[in-house]
Amino acid sequence: MKKVLVIHGPNLNRLGTREPEIYGHQTLADIDSALVERGKAFGIEVESFQSNHEGAIVDKIQSAANYHGLIINPAAYTHTSIAIRDAILAIDFPVIEVHLSNIYKREPFRHHSMISDAVTGKIVGLGHHGYLLALEAVHGLIGR
């Protein structure tokens, strides 16, 4: 069975209560459950990981050798983390960057992603549906 890792960055553990006008009312558990169910339909095992700590995210990416794809929402680290970017560059399977909100319609500092040039593709502004679309994309890429 193919395996896909989903990494959620800082403050995403607060989804559902944190700025719902921007991030929606879905909780992280809701998103993870939907990904597991969609993964079953694709024959993919989905594992999710959330951390508020940059080093823990880097460590998780570095230990992902037994996965076939990665979906990552680095959250605030999107705009600052060269370490996460470098970890992504060192893996050799599809990586999809996801953002719940449209980062290009927000504050100017959010318009730049440190990882966009290191990932296979990027989905922004579609709320929790973006994660499901990312899983569909990974499924298509690893099914080849």
Residues marked as catalytic: 23, 99
Burial of 97 (0-12, 13-18, 19+ CB in 10 A): buried
Separation of alpha carbons 144 and 142, rounded Å? 5
134 with 33: CB under 8 angstroms?
Answer: no
Helix (H, G, I), strand (E, B) or coil at 113: coil
